[in-house]
Amino acid sequence: MNLTKVLSFVFFAVAAFLGYLLWKGVDDVVEEEKRIALMEAATIEKLEMLRDAQLAYQAANGKYASTWDSLKTFIQTGQIWLVQRTETTKLLDYGAEEIKVTFDTLGSVTVMDSLFSTKKFPDFNLDLLPVVPGSGGKQFEFFADKIEKTGGYMVSVFEIRDPSPINPDRRANNNEKALRVGSRTDASTEGNWK
């Protein structure tokens, strides 16, 4: 074997190794982005479920739950009332209309059966609802209070937030862009992922 063949073999082996390292580096980045997207999708689903529970709690109690324990108790034992609204319109003289609205309570259904039915969420586990997916057991941060708006009237607000985002972009500036639903300063029930 001459020197040219040996060097060709060595350079081919080095090129193959560097090609593998390049492929592996790109593949690792793609897999990490997929993992982050999956974890964020699971987090968003839980935040939407918690928002629905908070809205039901507020409709029943006139305020939002400020702790996981109070929300959990409501999910386990709370009722959502089924109300039928009926409108009748009566035509008066000269084209005027009179509208009469009546509300009739038809019954109630449990919060668990209404919001978290096994048909909608087959693998639902109430004890894992406040746990952030992929966080190793950390729970969402809960906040609920009443704030004063312009004009002096009080508005109920809530915020449920991911305390330790997986996505490095969401961790910037002290988790400023962490996934959350609601707001501490506005009467909003929207999530910041939209």
Could you report the per-residue pLDDT of 10-32, keeping only the tens digit for each?
888 888 888 888 888 887 778 88
Q: What is the mean pLDDT of residues 31-48?
A: 86
> What per-residue confidence (pLDDT) applies to 90?
85
- Residue 141 is part of which domain span? 36-182
68-95 burial code (b ≥16 CB/10 A, e <16): beebbebbeebeeeeeeeeeeeeeeeee
* Assigned domain for 130 exists: yes
**What pLDDT is attached to residue 174?**
67
Digit-coded pLDDT (tens) for 50-88: 999 999 998 888 888 888 888 889 988 888 888 888 998
User: Does residue 123 lie in a domain region?
Assistant: yes
Q: Residues 103-156: pLDDT tens digits?
A: 888 888 888 888 888 888 888 888 888 888 887 888 888 888 888 887 888 888
12 part of a folded domain: no
End-to-end Cα, the chain, rounded Å:
65
- Quote the number of domains for the chain: 1
* Whether the predicted pLDDT of 171 surpasses 80: no
Domain annotation covers residue 29: no
**pLDDT for the residue 112:** 85
DSSP 105: E
Residue 17 belongs to some domain of the structure? no
Strand 79-91 with 141-148, pairing = unpaired
Does 141 map to a domain? yes
Q: How far apart are CA 80 and CA 95, in angstroms?
A: 40
Instruction: State how far the Cα of 175 lies from the Cα of 192, in Å rounded to an integer.
Output: 13
* Residue ranges in the chain assigned as alpha helix (H): 3-61, 68-77, 111-115, 172-175
DSSP string of 35-64, one letter each residue: HHHHHHHHHHHHHHHHHHHHHHHHHHHSS-
Burial 20-59 (b: 16+ CB within 10 A, else e): eeeeeeeeeeeeeeeebeebbeebbebbebbbbbbebbbe
Specify the length of the chain in residues. Answer: 194
pLDDT of residue 115: 85
> Both tokens of residue 109?
């259904």
More confident residue, 71 or 194: 71
Residue 103 lies in a domain: yes
Q: Look at residue 128 and tell me if it is in a domain.
A: yes
